[in-house]
A and B are shown apart, each in its own frame.
Chain A
Amino acid sequence: MIAIIDYKAGNLRSVERALRGLGVECRVTQDRAEILDADRVVFPGVGAAGRAMADLRQLGLDRVLRQVLKDGRPFLGICLGAQIILDRSQEDQAECLGFMAGAARAFSASLSSRRDERLKIPHMGWNSLEIVREHPVLKGVAPEDEFYFVHTYYPEPASDTHIVTTTDYGIRFPSVIGRENLIAMQFHPEKSGRPGLTILKNFCEWDGGHAQ
């Protein structure tokens, strides 16, 4: 069973529907025992970092998630869930979970493309990934595949070795990050058509190890 962590942060049903569509058993839950009992965990989220952290702490889920990670179970962060696993976020100056060293940073308001067009913030729409290092959850993803992003902040791990893919939006920002049994993506695989569903399926089959 996959636990989809429910901490009031945005549209959790879309992740649930995508996993169900793949025939995977999953449950949206904030029940600690149920989460600790799950084979793997999906940590989604849309919203602001400060509020999300306050809700997580109030529900006692920060400690539960730390335990899940420590136990070696596969852990997937999505969107806000890929930002607040870091030490802190520029958004609300929030102290975050610290599952990976680093911080979530805001895109600069004055970003421009190589053709010198002003880039709009949030970064919203379809964009591609440049794979920096192979990872089991990216199996079958082609360089031309695109994914659906909508965000103003992006994750920046302290160590480059935790960057799995980057994406170009005026700057090259980390779009998939990971270490050990933790993998996290800034885009929405549940809203990215077939390539996104491929990633979700890969995650469901991943044992949390890194072997190629």
Chain B
Amino acid sequence: MLSKRIIPCLDVRDGKTTKGIRFKENVDIGDPVDMGRYYYEEGADEIVFYDITASSEGRDIMIDVVSRVAETIFIPFSVGGGIRSLEDMRRVLLAGAEKVSVNSAAVKDPEIISRGAEAFGSQCIVLGMDVKRVMPSAAIPSGYEMVINGGRTDTGLDALAWARRAEALGAGEICLNSIDADGTQNGYELTLTALVSEHVGIPVIASGGAGSIDHIYEVLTKGKADAALVASVVHYNTFTVREIKESLHARGVKVRMTW
């Protein structure tokens, strides 16, 4: 049977990795190619590189990072951030990424999902979702609303309805980030994760809130996630990917133990 995946996420700006705490106060902590290699050797099952660059020079630097990563690690990795067109997708995939993730651009133009899936295959297209908890209403019955632009803009879209629509459009996977939990290290948003995971037929990667191995265990079991994204806890060496996997394995979660 499939193993649950542990996926370190590296935020990259101008060719350097950073970690955003609630999308603010980014701190440089290293070189993305070296860090990618480090996590590959530590047993990461996949790696996400998230481009938070605003400038077009920065985008070109990112493409260079992607091609160097592709020569260095031999597991799948995905690239998100600033993907707005088929051409953006093509550049990243040609540079060697396995998957691209679209977030704000898909909210503004949902057809980018279907066009991407048609051009490159559903397995390449990850829908990134930033979600916050709200009072359930007629427009947002699940009580979870999609937000974009790094959490600054409400969309009025129900997160669960959006996840199902994206699946129908051809998204191959969902990376589900809770804005409320992100950066808190108080645990993933289990209710949200289980809700989405139970209502879509594509894998769900839980994101936001990991502070302990217990949190990861909970989101992969109670939260029904197929994979867990980790950032600060591994970047700041609270524990290593290897320690996460050893602990999960000991608790009966199927994870990949040789690499």
- Using a CB–CB cutoff of 8 Å, the interface residues on chain A facing chain B are 10-11, 13-14, 17-18, 20-21, 46-47, 113, 118, 120-127, 142, 144-146, 148, 150, 168-169, 190-197
Contacts and interface: CB of A to CB of B under 8 A. Distances in A.
A125 B226 contact: yes
13 contacts: A10-B121, A11-B96, A14-B96, A17-B70, A46-B123, A120-B201, A120-B202, A120-B226, A124-B173, A125-B226, A126-B256, A194-B74, A194-B258
B3 interface: yes
B250 interface: no
Contacts, number: 82
- Interface size range on B against A: 20 to 34
A15 to B, nearest CB: 10
Given A11-B98, A126-B2, 15 more contacts: A10-B121, A11-B93, A13-B70, A14-B70, A46-B121, A47-B121, A122-B123, A124-B2, A125-B2, A125-B5, A126-B5, A142-B258, A191-B98, A194-B74, A196-B74
A197 B75 CA distance: 10
Contact of A169 (B1, B121, B226, B257): B1
A33 B98 CA distance: 31
Nearest to B201: A120
B236 interface: no
Interface of B: 1-3, 5, 40, 45, 70-71, 74-76, 93-94, 96, 98, 121-123, 172-173, 201-203, 226-227, 256-259
Contacts of B74: 18, 21, 190-194, 196-197
Nearest to B94: A13
Interface of B is mostly: loop
A187 B5 CA distance: 16
A122 B170 CA distance: 12
**Helix, strand, loop or mixed for chain A's interface?**
mixed
Q: Name which of A124, A148, A169 has the most chain B CB atoms within 10 A of its CB.
A: A124
A78 B123 CA distance: 16
Contacts of B1: 113, 127, 168-169
B258 A121 contact: no
A120 B203 contact: yes
Contacts of A123: 2
A146 B203 contact: no
B257 A21 contact: no
Given A113-B1, A148-B75, A193-B40, A126 B45 contact: yes
Contacts of A148: 75-76
B193 to A, nearest CB: 15
A209 to B, nearest CB: 27
A144 B258 contact: yes
Contact of A192 (B75, B121, B202, B257): B75
A118 B197 CA distance: 11
Contact of B259 (A11, A14, A125, A194): A194
Contacts of B203: 120, 124-125
Nearest to A13: B96
B220 to A, nearest CB: 12
A146 B256 contact: yes
A71 to B, nearest CB: 30
A168 B2 CA distance: 8
Q: Which of B98, B173, B256 is most buried by chain A, counting CB atoms within 10 A of its CB?
A: B256
Given A11-B93, A47-B121, A125-B203, A193 B75 contact: yes
Contacts of B256: 126, 146
B92 to A, nearest CB: 11
Shortest Cβ-Cβ A-B pairs, 9 listed: A146-B256, A126-B3, A193-B259, A125-B2, A126-B256, A150-B123, A145-B258, A191-B76, A144-B258
Nearest to B224: A117
B71 A195 contact: no
A146 B258 contact: yes
Contacts of A47: 121
